[in-house]
Amino acid sequence: MMKCFSLALLVSLSLIKDSAAAEGDWCYEIQGHQTLGCGPRFWGEHYPTCAKNHQSPINVLTKKAVFDKALKPFHFKGYNITGRHLNITNNGHSAQVDLPTGIEISGGGLSETYIAAQFHFHWGSDEFYGSEHTVDGEKYPMELHIVHKRKTSTGGFGDLAVLGFFYEETAKNNTEYNSLIESLGHISTKDGYKNFSATLDKLIPINELKVYYRYNGSLTTPPCNETVIWTLFNTTIKLSKLQLQAFHNSLNFTEKQRMVENFRPVQKRSDRIVYTSSSQVILSSFQSLLICFIVSFLTIMS
């Protein structure tokens, strides 16, 4: 009798899992408790590219980053356009803002101009930080991705250039985010949307973006296409605790589940090299190692 029950249970679980895959569903780990077979560890079964070797996000080891003199400052076009209303949407996985035409980036070691398409966020919860990438193992409260598409698309690597920004908690509200954060309360349910006013260059520290990391990777959500040139900036964006909490307290995955911890776990770096635009980053890492060596030496000698 017990064997029959166990067999029936396994079949049922398999059907539920296959059903989720058949519908093209995917979810984050925190949602996987409610929908079997849809979390990040199953993405590779349903979307084979998600199991390849050049996936994102990764952990950036600053001491192993290679200085590349070709990584010059970016040129931002249209980031400062005012008077435009942007549309923010709950897409079921994040809060996404679709961008109008006329916003572009060039420079920054890119071979051509890229057109901005949208930006979205990844965040945590009251218990866990929610950035996707980590730096020397350190996770940040939240991460912003501004997605750009190459003007001359080839369908292969380099079709997308994503700018990644980390958030840090500060004591004061960032007033540049007031309109965006206020709109979150209007998009609690999937497909909910709201217009708000913002200028893109006010949402990021646009005058402090000379230091960054660069590597080749993928989308951090299915189908996980390995077509992304990733840029992760060293300078963080500051938000207050209440502003950060607004993200994981306002949106829902479903009617019954709050949208929290919408991040993919760190993936293996494999054979990829992470480059940096700043020789000072390398020098800083060397100085830290030198200090550790001196302290260890003095300890032994004493």
Three-class HEC string of the chain? CHHHHHHHHHHHHHHHHHHHHHCCCCCCHHHCCCCCCCCHHHHHHHCHHHHCCCCCCCEECHHHCEECCCCCCEEEECCCCCCCEEEEEECCCCEEEECCCCCEEEECCCCCCEEEEEEEEEECCCCCCCCCCEECCECCCEEEEEEEEECCCCCCCCCEEEEEEEEEEECCCCHHHHHHHHHHCCCCCCCCEEEEECCHHHHCCCCCCCCEEEEEECCCCCCCCCCEEEEEECCCEEEEHHHHHHHHHHCEEECCEECCCCCCCCCCCCCCCCEECCHHHHHHHHHHHHHHHHHHHHHHHC
Catalytic residue among 54, 93, 133, 148: 93
pTM metric for this prediction: 0.86
Full set of structural domains in the chain with CATH? 47-301 (3.10.200.10)
Residue 291: its pLDDT value, please?
57
Residue 25: its pLDDT value, please?
84
Annotated catalytic, 93?
A: yes
Q: How do the pLDDT tens digits run along the chain, 302 residues long?
A: 444 434 333 333 343 344 344 445 899 999 976 667 899 999 999 999 999 999 999 999 999 999 999 999 999 999 999 888 999 999 999 999 999 999 999 999 999 999 999 999 999 999 999 999 999 999 999 999 999 999 888 889 999 999 999 999 999 999 999 999 999 999 999 999 999 999 999 999 999 999 999 999 999 999 999 999 999 999 999 999 999 999 999 999 998 899 999 999 999 999 999 999 998 765 555 455 555 456 555 556 55
